[in-house]
Amino acid sequence: MNPPPLGAVGNGAAAPSSPLRIAFTPNLKQNASEAEAEFDTPETVEAIRGALAELGHTVDLVEVSGPPAMTIAKLEALNPDLVFNTAEGRLGRYREAFYPGIFENLGLPFTGSDAYVCTVTLDKNLTKTLLAPHGIRMARGAFVQKAEEALKLDLRFPVILKPNFEGSSKGITQDSVVENPDTLRQRLRSLLKSYPAGILIEEYIVGKDVTVPYLEALPTNGGVMTPLEYVFSENVKSSRKYVIYDYALKNQDSDHVDVRPLTGYGPDTVQALQEATKKVIQVLGCRDLGRVDFRVTPEGEIFFIEINALPSLEPGAGIYVAAGLAGFATPQSVLGTVIQSALARNGLLDRNRKPMKKSRKGLRVGFSYNEKRITPGHDPSTDTEAEYDSPKTLDSIRNAIRAMGHEVVDLEATAELASVLPTADVDVVFNIAEGIKGRNRESQVPALLELLDIPYTGSDPATLALTLDKGLAKRIVRDMGVRTPAFFSMSSGKAKIPQNLRYPLIGKPVAEGSSKGVMPASVVKNEAELRALAEEITKKYRQSALIEEFLPGREFTVALLGESRPKALPPMEIVFTNPKDEFPVYSYGHKLESNQEVRYEVPAKVDPQLLRKIEHAARAAFLALGCRDVARVDLRLDADGEVNFIECNPLPGLTPGWSDLCLISDSAGIPYQTLIHEILSPAIRRFKEKKKLLMQGKQNHVG
């Protein structure tokens, strides 16, 4: 007998008696392209995350679209009780199996089917081959990888073509139904160019598209629920010769489709659909949840189409509709049953059917920072601590680290830090310290940490020293092939000025952050204005002024997370809204408070070609400068629309709902705690590697 679902009680969901730490692993949809059709939208991700949290669990979002090494590092750092998996994978015939395979190798229990089942079910032809000996009826068909193979087929027309290794109706259009051999070969050639792994050809069955959802932990009917039909609007039915649930209806015109309990058939047909679903689930070994699709003729004949081991969990999905008919009316109750069956098969329930948590010991995480005690204002004399962090921001970071189960040890980056660190007994350090003074100030804390062999977040001392000097950073990035505006430095107002630069020019302190020293008056139109500006900068900031050609185009900032293969989040555009501003700049004043002259477009509205150029320039700069874990790269377009590097900030601000990085991560569906975790997890991985090497060294010494 199946166990009762965790937290699923009729119309509601009670909080479990033993809350779990759950890693939620979706592929987050960043755009409306077909390549990401199977991914979860930010709205779906938030709906699932919220439902899991309402069950009483701690939920850590681990978005998997970046480099696999980053995903593994995050999972190892979290060591969750359970992984709630919706990841579809990105490339290849085995993409849905990729992440379950990782979970298994990391020893992490997870929801849903294993790597083998995900491999089989993504392959429509292999699925049918395995089911055929078990009496599952299906349309006659064939799998082809060359258009010429269609000449040998003995099939009755019309037939329907579909990519063999795709879901979400990818590659299926009205043209997918063909009525003669000549058209078949023509369509095959076209489809195989887009889907060379192979096409499944099946005889077209006139009838209804029917789906039967499955939840293993439901206490009745073996988890098989009420069959549902896809009901199309009259407009769709009247405008199409073949009413099929194609890509357009599934992904673009979903308002014309409704999912309802199957009508027009007797109880024998309903029972036959449920029995066939049970058989499919049993033969293929699908676990926890699933969806089996059929085509049912007007006479009630049932033909198997496919199975989805990773069914949609977006709001309104069929699995919720069917569960509601079974008395499980909320997303929480549905997701609770998924968790229940995953825990049960992994032996993680005690005798009272309560979840058993892993014994987990958090780390001692040092937190190095500079606290802001002088509130910056428009008076330039108040900007001395503009780069430091407010008590509110510091508390937000502390709370995010504690929420991961770690202890936080404050390490304010004062002159006494060098004597405090050796006795702090910390495992890793979350570093946002800006340092105290000098052109190498951002390197001070990481250098101390390296001296004491303490792993830490973020870039190393060399990178932090390099990026703080904007002129040096530009030289490195330019040598790596990334455009940057022509520039030079002035040590005083009397310094020599190159003759080949074109006005207007913009000047700023060469080694400051937070736009310190950048004002509307920073753009100059002639030599006299330039010399006056350089004199002002060098006297106030006691450093050279960086002078560069002013670029008139759009301005963007890109957040990157990771190491050798950083993940670029969707770019943010700084939009200047004052039409009277001849030379708009993102100034120090804009960063003090909300300003009517600037708004943030996030994600930026850019065409695919420009997006590729922006991401390429940002990644190239990140790698050229040796950044690690996190950075923000600022870019601007020149008069020709080409992307230019402006500067890189490897210690970007982390004020929730305010800092550029946080606005970008919010728009990408990455909650604040998850952002902090993404920054911290590579340092935890480095800590574990260090610990492993020490153990190996001890064993070798003993040997």
- The residue-averaged pLDDT of 473-495 equals 92
**Which CATH number do you get for residue 188?**
3.30.470.20
Report the range of poorest mean pLDDT among 141-150, 171-180, 332-341, 374-383. Answer: 374-383
CA–CA distance, 69 with 291 (Å, rounded to integer): 31
Name residue 12's amino acid. G
CA–CA distance, 612 with 672 (Å, rounded to integer): 26
Contact indicator for 262, 192 with CB cutoff of 8 Å: no
Name residue 532's amino acid. A
CA–CA distance, 117 with 283 (Å, rounded to integer): 10
Backbone angles phi, psi at 684, to 5 degrees: -65, -40
Does the structure show a pLDDT above 70 at 58?
yes
The two tokens of residue 456 are 């830490």
The two tokens of residue 199 are 């096409």
> Do both 285 and 220 map to the same domain?
yes
- What was the pLDDT predicted at 12? 43
Q: How many Cα atoms are found within 13 Å in the side-chain-facing hemisphere of 255?
A: 2
CA–CA distance, 131 with 209 (Å, rounded to integer): 20
Contact indicator for 211, 168 with CB cutoff of 8 Å: no
Cα–Cα separations (whole angstroms), residue 327 to 214, 217, 220, 333, 389: 14, 13, 11, 9, 50
CA–CA distance, 170 with 194 (Å, rounded to integer): 11
CA–CA distance, 339 with 57 (Å, rounded to integer): 11
- What was the pLDDT predicted at 275? 97
Does the structure show a pLDDT above 80 at 393?
yes
Greater pLDDT, 533 or 114: 114
- What was the pLDDT predicted at 594? 57
- DSSP conformation letters of 581-609: -SS----TGGGTS--TTEEEESS----HH
Contact indicator for 351, 415 with CB cutoff of 8 Å: no
> Do both 377 and 301 map to the same domain?
no
**Which CATH number do you get for residue 441?**
3.40.50.20
> Do both 372 and 267 map to the same domain?
no
151 lies in a domain? Answer: yes
The two tokens of residue 110 are 């997870």
Reported in sequence order, the residue ranges of 336-474 that DSSP labels E, i.e. its strands, are 364-369, 407-412, 428-431
- What was the pLDDT predicted at 376? 59
Does the structure show a pLDDT above 70 at 76?
yes
- The residue-averaged pLDDT of 527-541 equals 88
> Do both 376 and 269 map to the same domain?
no
- The residue-averaged pLDDT of 57-61 equals 92
> Do both 303 and 415 map to the same domain?
no
CA–CA distance, 571 with 270 (Å, rounded to integer): 50
Cα–Cα separations (whole angstroms), residue 234 to 173, 231, 239, 659: 18, 9, 8, 49
| Exposed/middle/buried for residue 495 (C-beta within 10 Å: 0-12, 13-18, 19+) | middle
547 lies in a domain? Answer: no
Domain end position, chosen among 440, 457, 474: 457
Report the range of poorest mean pLDDT among 298-312, 385-399, 460-474. Answer: 385-399
Percent of the chain with pLDDT over 90: 67
- The residue-averaged pLDDT of 46-68 equals 92
Does the structure show a pLDDT above 60 at 209?
yes
533 lies in a domain? Answer: no
Exposure string for 91-119, b = 16+ CB within 10 A, e = fewer = eeeebbbbbbebbeeeebbbbbbbbebbb
CA–CA distance, 4 with 16 (Å, rounded to integer): 13
Does the structure show a pLDDT above 90 at 627?
yes
Percent of the chain with pLDDT over 70: 93
CA–CA distance, 631 with 558 (Å, rounded to integer): 8
The total of structural domains in the chain comes to 2
Q: How many Cα atoms are found within 13 Å in the side-chain-facing hemisphere of 508?
A: 26
Does the structure show a pLDDT above 50 at 15?
no
- What was the pLDDT predicted at 701? 60
Greater pLDDT, 308 or 4: 308
Integer-rounded Cα Rg, in Å, for the chain is 29
CA torsion angle for 564, 83, 109, 13 (degrees, to 10)? 170
> Do both 294 and 158 map to the same domain?
yes
Task: Tabulate helix, strand, coil % of the chain (nearest 5).
Answer: 40, 20, 40
Of 229-238, 378-387, 687-696, where does the model show the most confidence?
A: 229-238
Backbone angles phi, psi at 338, to 5 degrees: -65, -45
The two tokens of residue 193 are 């160019």
- What was the pLDDT predicted at 542? 87
- The residue-averaged pLDDT of 650-675 equals 93
Does the structure show a pLDDT above 50 at 182?
yes
Report H helices in 57-208.
68-78, 95-106, 115-122, 124-131, 181-194
CA–CA distance, 53 with 236 (Å, rounded to integer): 39
- The residue-averaged pLDDT of 30-56 equals 92
Does the structure show a pLDDT above 70 at 516?
no
Average pLDDT, rounded, for the chain: 89
The two tokens of residue 569 are 């989040």
Contact indicator for 576, 587 with CB cutoff of 8 Å: no
- The residue-averaged pLDDT of 190-194 equals 94
Annotate 161-213 with three-state secondary structure: EEECCCCCCCCCCHHHEECCHHHHHHHHHHHHHHCCCCEEEEECCCCEEEEEE
Does the structure show a pLDDT above 90 at 133?
yes
The two tokens of residue 459 are 């870039």
Does the structure show a pLDDT above 90 at 593?
no
CA–CA distance, 65 with 624 (Å, rounded to integer): 23
Name residue 597's amino acid. E
Does the structure show a pLDDT above 70 at 517?
no
Does the structure show a pLDDT above 80 at 424?
yes
Does the structure show a pLDDT above 50 at 242?
yes
The two tokens of residue 520 are 């509307």
> Do both 368 and 319 map to the same domain?
no
Q: How many Cα atoms are found within 13 Å in the side-chain-facing hemisphere of 330?
A: 17
Does the structure show a pLDDT above 60 at 196?
yes
> Do both 292 and 219 map to the same domain?
yes
Handedness of CA 46, 51, 56, 62 (dihedral sign): negative
- The neighbour count for residue 249, using CB atoms within 10 Å, is 21
- What was the pLDDT predicted at 577? 84
The two tokens of residue 353 are 């059917």
Q: How many Cα atoms are found within 13 Å in the side-chain-facing hemisphere of 324?
A: 14
> Do both 369 and 294 map to the same domain?
no
CA–CA distance, 320 with 330 (Å, rounded to integer): 7
Contact indicator for 630, 674 with CB cutoff of 8 Å: no
Of 88-92, 101-105, 433-437, 488-492, where does the model show the most confidence?
A: 101-105
- What was the pLDDT predicted at 79? 86
Does the structure show a pLDDT above 80 at 550?
yes
The two tokens of residue 185 are 């070969």
- What was the pLDDT predicted at 642? 96
Does the structure show a pLDDT above 50 at 1?
no
> Do both 169 and 311 map to the same domain?
yes
Report the range of poorest mean pLDDT among 45-59, 387-401, 494-508. Answer: 494-508
Does the structure show a pLDDT above 50 at 4?
no
221 lies in a domain? Answer: yes
- What was the pLDDT predicted at 176? 92
Greater pLDDT, 10 or 226: 226
The pLDDT confidence band at residue 514, using thresholds 50, 70 and 90, is low
Greater pLDDT, 207 or 31: 207
- The residue-averaged pLDDT of 99-120 equals 96
Exposure string for 54-67, b = 16+ CB within 10 A, e = fewer = bbbbbbbbbbbbbb
- The residue-averaged pLDDT of 284-312 equals 97
- What was the pLDDT predicted at 277? 98
pTM equals 0.80
The pLDDT confidence band at residue 219, using thresholds 50, 70 and 90, is confident
Task: Report the Cα–Cα distance between both ends of the chain, in Å, rounded.
Answer: 53
- The residue-averaged pLDDT of 37-55 equals 94
- The residue-averaged pLDDT of 203-212 equals 95
173 lies in a domain? Answer: yes
Does the structure show a pLDDT above 50 at 2?
no
Of 274-288, 596-610, 680-694, where does the model show the most confidence?
A: 274-288
Contact indicator for 486, 501 with CB cutoff of 8 Å: yes
Report the range of poorest mean pLDDT among 82-96, 456-470, 685-699. Answer: 685-699
Does the structure show a pLDDT above 60 at 588?
no
Does the structure show a pLDDT above 60 at 612?
yes
Cα–Cα separations (whole angstroms), residue 150 to 113, 202, 357, 395, 468: 34, 11, 55, 65, 63
628 lies in a domain? Answer: no
Domain end position, chosen among 422, 457, 492: 457
Cα–Cα separations (whole angstroms), residue 329 to 40, 51, 214, 407, 675: 22, 13, 15, 39, 32
H or E segment at 140?
A: none
Contact indicator for 689, 462 with CB cutoff of 8 Å: no
CA torsion angle for 574, 578, 579, 580 (degrees, to 10)? -130
Q: What range does the domain containing 421 cover? A: 364-457
Report the range of poorest mean pLDDT among 233-242, 452-461, 509-518, 616-625. Answer: 509-518
> Do both 158 and 272 map to the same domain?
yes
Q: Which of 633, 647, 651, 653 is nearest to 518 (CA)?
A: 647
Greater pLDDT, 214 or 351: 214
504 lies in a domain? Answer: no
518 lies in a domain? Answer: no
Report the range of poorest mean pLDDT among 69-73, 447-451, 480-484, 512-516. Answer: 512-516
The two tokens of residue 529 are 């204005």
- What was the pLDDT predicted at 384? 63
> Prior bond to 504 cis, omega within 30?
yes
> Do both 312 and 376 map to the same domain?
no
Domain end position, chosen among 442, 457, 472: 457
The pLDDT confidence band at residue 587, using thresholds 50, 70 and 90, is low
